[in-house]
Amino acid sequence: MQRKALIFIIVFTFCWLFNPIKADFEEKTEDDFLKASERCLQSEHLPGTYKGHFENFDYADEEPVHRYIHCIWTDLKLWNDRTGFNVEHIASLYRDKANTEVLVPILSVCNRNTQNEPTLKWCYNAFKCVLNSLVGQWFKEDVGRKLQDTQTTTNHVG
């Protein structure tokens, strides 16, 4: 009996210590996205007119918007310039809405750089593809709800 318990503890400890998602990824929330968005608006020196478009999920195919999109997803550690979106991490964010077998194929299709675009354009195209998918619908609902909550709270305070 003691041997089984010891083996369990060793296996559990090994899995806990070397779980790649736990080790290098902290789940992101709508708040994290909105904070990264604000940081990137400032760091990319985008005029305030862009913010209203972005809050309506309107992302024009323009170089400043490409930089902004890349900034957000890199900031959130969900984008890598060599491999694209971290499909497994993004899928884990929506595991309460669908299983991995549904999510990973959607995200993987969007992640492909079929045109061998430069990094910023690839990130933008992948993001737009995700936005037009079921995952994008959930993203818009979640972020939209958070934006409404934030605006309601701000209006009541002021």
- Higher-confidence residue of 34 and 25: namely 34
More confident residue, 86 or 11: 86
pLDDT, tens only, 42-53: 999 999 899 999
Q: How confident is the model over 98-149, as pLDDT tens digits? A: 888 888 898 899 999 878 899 999 999 999 999 999 999 998 998 888 888 7
**Average pLDDT over all residues of the chain:** 82
Domain count, the chain: 1
* Domain annotation covers residue 2: no
Q: Concatenated DSSP letters for 125-150? A: HHHHHHHTSHHHHHHHHHHHHHHHHH
Distance between CA atoms of residues 12 and 15, nearest Å: 5
Range of the domain at 51: 30-151
Is 146 part of a structural domain of the chain? Answer: yes
Whether 158 is in a domain gets the answer no
Would you state the pLDDT for residue 133? 93
Residue 24 inside a domain? The answer is no
116 in any annotated domain? yes
Do the domain assignments include residue 5? no
pTM, to two decimals: 0.77
In a domain, 100, yes or no: yes
42 against 88, higher pLDDT:
42
Residue 124 lies in a domain: yes
The CATH number for 143's domain is: 1.10.238.20
Residue 37: which residues within 8 A CB-CB, separation 6 or more? 54, 72
